[in-house]
Amino acid sequence: MKQQKHCVMTISLNPIISSGQAKYLSIGQYLVECVRSGDLAPGTRLPTHREFAEQIGVSVQTVSHAYAYAEKKGALESWVGNGTFVKAGFVDDNTDIEFMLAHEMKETPDEIDMSIAHPVITERHMTLFNQALSNIASQADNHHLLAKARPIMGQPVHQESGQQYLKTQGLDVESDLLILTNGACHGLMLALSTTVEHGDVVACGERVDHGLISRSRMLGFKLLPLEMDERGITPQAFEWACQTRNIKVLCCTPSMANPCSSHMDRERRQAIADIALRYNILVIEDDVYGALEPQREPPIASLIPQQTFYITSLTKVVAPGLRTGYLAVPRHYLQHALGRLAASSWAATPLAFEVADLWIRNGTLERFIDFQRDEFAKRQRLAASILKDYHYQAHPQGQHLWLSLPEQWQSDDLVVAAKRSGVQITSYKPFVTNVNQALPFVRVSLGAETNRGYIKHGLSVIAEILTTNPPTSSFLV
């Protein structure tokens, strides 16, 4: 039972009843504003429904609805037998960009996870997710979420909101070319299995997401790694490969590529698109990080839509459990892709897309992305301060660092030393096609820990380790 620490106080509120608006809504919004502004402090006990109704001259039912509205918004909380209180830590839609923040670390955790590409998840995310599920459960007709097996491309309403989202990402795609997938991994598998056969050559960056490497082994195609710079795959390397190797497909991540955060500007994207068009090379564009760009560059798919498979999802920019993927397919490959969709999963799970649909339409998705962009910018600034003596590649709003190691350190040694000090990071090995070529890099990810203080501590641990020499090996004789 909740401990009653709160002082009871009688408050005098005189909310303005807006013309053309229900009274309960005007009162509820006024309460939310009072909490947001601090006029009602956390822990304040509000009058009973009857007391408040008499105080402001409305019905008890109106007050009940007003309290329920403010509680749904997260400003109030009710405890049976105790009353209604102002909730601590309330953040409403007007201030969502600050819904978590600068938590300082009160104690050293046993382990800090900086090993996985992951958006920052807060209690506010969970609150809004629970509210979304509640809204969905209250809908009069949820037949399409449970009892529909077709269309396998996805429910039309979910395709429509997906179209709306992709437009914000610079891609205008027809609804009948948009396939809903269970995350970007599923979309990548569909695109690859549609375009390549066993033994085909697929070009990619020399530093590449481990998911592509895994799929090359599963599907039996060969990866051809191409030279990269800070702007991604170089046009010279791509054109050389087109001229000298029988390339079937180019796989690339133009925005904040994992692991090194290389980022193609508009000129580089156009150059890659022009070469692909000239040599008739299909492009599979993985755009899971693109929404984090403050000034969004157009996807390659917007430049050559007739030969580009475009893949994105909400997994990296909202929440890892929101496996909502969007795959835009060139029209002449659509039936091939649909056949593989039916064979692999039949259709994507509708419930996740119902949540995404709600958030896209009511603006929550945009606020989530704004938050991630802002929060990763803060974490990158932390990294720039703490690792100022070391070289690394990163994007100002990116989720990780590609850290170059001092001469005395090898990647595996640093991973082991960091783990012994309670920090998990990732070796270069998952991101290269030839693990026998030792590289002096590790990837440090900044999002898996909600507490920014943990990230600060983890970066400090890594910086401190790098000032030392690796431990000497010990042998039993």
User: Which residue would you say has higher pLDDT here, 113 or 42?
Assistant: 113
- What six digits make up the tokens of 402? 């590609």
Instruction: State how far the Cα of 376 lies from the Cα of 131, in Å rounded to an integer.
Output: 25
Query: How many residues are present in the chain?
Result: 477
Percentage, residues of the chain above pLDDT 90:
71
CATH 3.90.1150.10 residue window(s) in the chain = 112-127+367-466
Percentage, residues of the chain above pLDDT 70:
90
**Radius of gyration of the CA atoms of the chain, in A:** 26
pLDDT at 13: 59
Model confidence at 2, in pLDDT bands (50, 70, 90)?
very low
Yes or no: say if 30 and 16 are a contact pair by the CB < 8 Å rule: yes
Residues 219-244, mean pLDDT to the nearest whole number: 97
State pLDDT tens for residues 114-129: 999 999 999 989 999 9
pLDDT at 294 over 80: yes
Instruction: State how far the Cα of 409 lies from the Cα of 470, in Å rounded to an integer.
Output: 6
Model confidence at 476, in pLDDT bands (50, 70, 90)?
very low
- Highest CATH level, class, for 112-127+367-466: alpha beta
**CATH number of the structural domain 149-362:** 3.40.640.10
Model confidence at 5, in pLDDT bands (50, 70, 90)?
very low
Residues 92-109, mean pLDDT to the nearest whole number: 52
pLDDT at 103: 52
- What six digits make up the tokens of 368? 């989530």
CA neighbours closer than 13 Å in the CB half-sphere of residue 436: 0
CATH 3.40.640.10 residue window(s) in the chain = 149-362
Yes or no: say if 380 and 396 are a contact pair by the CB < 8 Å rule: yes
User: Which residue would you say has higher pLDDT here, 141 or 262?
Assistant: 262
pLDDT at 130 over 80: yes
pLDDT at 95: 47
Please provide the average confidence, as pLDDT, over all residues in the chain. 89
pLDDT at 253: 98
Model confidence at 102, in pLDDT bands (50, 70, 90)?
very low
pLDDT at 405: 97
pLDDT at 164: 96
User: Which residue would you say has higher pLDDT here, 88 or 186?
Assistant: 186
Model confidence at 264, in pLDDT bands (50, 70, 90)?
very high
End-to-end CA, the chain? 62
pLDDT at 41: 82
CATH 1.10.10.10 residue window(s) in the chain = 23-90
- What six digits make up the tokens of 465? 């380790």
CATH 1.10.3720.10 fits 23-90, yes or no: no
